[in-house]
Amino acid sequence: MRMAKAVWVPGLLAAAVSAGCITATNSGVVPAANGELFIAVRTPGDKGGWEESLRVARQEATQFCAKEGKQPKVTNQEAGPYEVDLTFRCEP
C-alpha cells in the first residue's frame, strides 16, 4: 500500500499542475544572509504572473512577521514575468 501511495500522490500533483489547478508555488519564508528572510513565489501568466506573485509574497511576509508582532521591511525585490524574489526583515 505504501508504494501505491508514493506513486499516486505525485501523479495527482502533476495532473493538477498540468491542468492549471495550482495558482502559485512558493519557497516559503527561509533565512537569508545578515538576519534577513527570503521568499520566492511563481505564478503562471494566466493566473496573474508577477503581479500575483508579488501579492502572495508580501502577504506571506506580513503573516510571518505578524507572528512576532512586527512588520516586514523589504530590502530587495526582483521580478520576472512570472516570479518574484523578495528579501525582507521583520521590524517593529
* pLDDT per residue of the chain (92 residues) written in tens, 0 to 9: 444 433 433 443 344 444 455 677 989 999 999 999 999 999 999 999 999 999 999 999 999 999 999 999 999 999 999 999 999 999 99
pLDDT at 22: 62
Domain 23-91 matching CATH 3.60.90: the answer reads no
Distances (CA, A) of 56 to 3, 4, 39, 48: 35, 34, 10, 11
Domain limits of the chain?
23-91
pLDDT at 86: 95
Phi, psi of 61 (to 5 degrees): -65, -40
pLDDT for 19-41, tens place per residue?
Answer: 455 677 989 999 999 999 999 99
pLDDT at 20: 52
